[in-house]
Amino acid sequence: MTGVMLWGVGTSQYRLQPEKRVEELAWTAIAEAVADAGIQPWQIEAIVVGTVFGPPGVATRVQRGLGLPGVPMWTVENACASGTSAYHEAVEAVRRGRFGCVLVLGVDQMSTLFSGAIVPEATDPEGASSLPLPGLYALQAQRYMQEFGVTPEQLAAIAVKNKRNGLDNPRAQLRDKAPTIEEVLSSRMIAEPLTFLQCCPTTDGAGAVIVGRERNNPNDLRIEASAMVSGALWDHRSPDVWGYASVARAAEQAYEQAGRSPAEIDVLEVHDAFTIGEIITLEALGLAPRGKGAELAPSGHTARDGAQPVNPSGGLLSRGHPLGGTGTAQIAEIAWQLRGTAGARQVARHRVGLVETMGGGAAGMDGNACVVTILSVP
């Protein structure tokens, strides 16, 4: 893919902020992204919004404050991958020459809907049977532990790494302290083997990304690849745990577009809603063979000062997870890392970055959708 650039990024704080209107979260992120891109609002030619819980009409209520009457606008929903799905559509639109500058917004305000874990969707066969999302991931973790000998300590190491990274992220929700392995394991059990500190918190937030055509601005980053896949059947025939295959499909496309191998990626932001998720995802992204992904955090490979830092922002485990607002926050972190402006979180090698978001929860499918994008310093 040539000629599509990331112009600017911005985010709100990631916090419980039910006292704010959801539009306010969006406007904060958009204003920062517009300033970061160095453009005027009227240069925006189209808007793509990713949100799961909306509410319906949120895109228009946001637009009302932007002064962009009549611009083409879409709202997309792909579970946790909604924000990156919106981004993918914007990238494709610019790549095909339809627009020269597109605003992407990912937003969700969870605190006004749920007081704890997300209530499973009543129209879903497994949701109706009271399978919560941590339960779905716990089933994969149990399978992994029994099939590959993955230990609770290896799972906990993901939480320790990401929550330590998050201490340096002023926009992350959880910044009190970084727990030890023992503290992670002794925190309240949610769904065996996943304890409370292995689950991302409920959060409100918005992230905005502006993508556009090439324009010779030294601040811009090259979008080498963007791949989006929807789910495929996950059933009794499937050789892999749930979620693996959808990430692998998107990753294969992205690496091919970029002409890169997994070893060439300097820094990653991936979907760690639950600790086991980061392990499965890194295997699907090719950073480790199947069954070996659990070794990446304990060995230091994915630490901020490791060979391939993963979730230097603190990930969803620290930042929190406002579903639609997650993907665009991941892209913002990679943009700051690649530009070398990530402050205390800055990783040493930052030429090529990767973002992965996998959304799921529909029974019998290996994901609702997965997006993988690769960015680089031009």
Partner 1 sequence: MSELGVGRPTKRRPGAAVGGLPVADPRPVLDGAGADAAVVGLRCTQCRYPVPQRRIPWCPVCYGSVAEARFATTGIAWSSTVVQIAVGGRKPPFALAYLDLDDGPRVLVHLAEPAVVPIGTRLRITGTDDGDLVAEVAA
Could you list the active site residues?
Answer: 80, 321
Return the residue of 96, 188, 218, 305 that touches partner 1, per CB under 8 A: 188
Shortest distance, CB of residue 322 to partner 1, whole angstroms? 15
Dist CA 114 CA 175 (whole Å):
22
Cβ pair 281, 249 in contact under 8 A: no
Nearer to partner 1, 174 or 335 (CB): 174
Tokens of 140: 């994969």
Task: Tell me which stretch binds partner 1 (CB under 8 A): 116-124, 215-223, 265-273, 275-283.
Answer: 116-124
Q: Does 305 bind partner 1 (CB under 8 A)?
A: no
Which residue in 318, 347, 348 sits closest to 158, CA to CA? 318
Q: What is the DSSP string of 202-262?
A: P-EEEEEEEEEE----TT-EEEEEEEEEE--B-STT-SS-TTHHHHHHHHHHHHHHHT--G
Q: Does 61 bind partner 1 (CB under 8 A)?
A: no
Q: Does 130 bind partner 1 (CB under 8 A)?
A: yes
Return the residue of 121, 153, 214, 295 that touches partner 1, per CB under 8 A: 121
Shortest distance, CB of residue 259 to partner 1, whole angstroms? 33
Tokens of 59: 């895109």
Which residue in 143, 65, 162 sits closest to 105, CA to CA? 65
Nearer to partner 1, 54 or 212 (CB): 54
Interface of this chain with partner 1, residues 208 to 267, rule: CB under 8 A: 233, 235-236
Q: How many residues would you count in the chain?
A: 378
Segment holding 365, helix H or strand E = none
Task: Tell me which stretch binds partner 1 (CB under 8 A): 60-68, 80-88, 129-137, 346-354.
Answer: 129-137
Dist CA 338 CA 231 (whole Å):
30
Q: Does 149 bind partner 1 (CB under 8 A)?
A: no
Dist CA 180 CA 159 (whole Å):
9
Q: Return the percent helix, strand and coil in the chain, to nearest 5.
A: 35, 20, 45
Nearer to partner 1, 130 or 216 (CB): 130
Nearer to partner 1, 55 or 65 (CB): 55
Return the residue of 3, 41, 60, 119 that touches partner 1, per CB under 8 A: 119
Task: Tell me which stretch binds partner 1 (CB under 8 A): 91-99, 118-126, 247-255, 257-265.
Answer: 118-126
Which residue in 37, 82, 148, 74 sits closest to 323, CA to CA? 82
**Per-residue string for binding with partner 1, 2-21, x by CB under 8 A?**
----------------xx--
How many residues bind partner 1, per CB under 8 A? Answer: 43
- Chain positions contacting partner 1, by CB under 8 A: 18-19, 55, 111-113, 115-117, 119-126, 128-132, 134-135, 138-143, 146-147, 188-193, 233, 235-236, 363-364
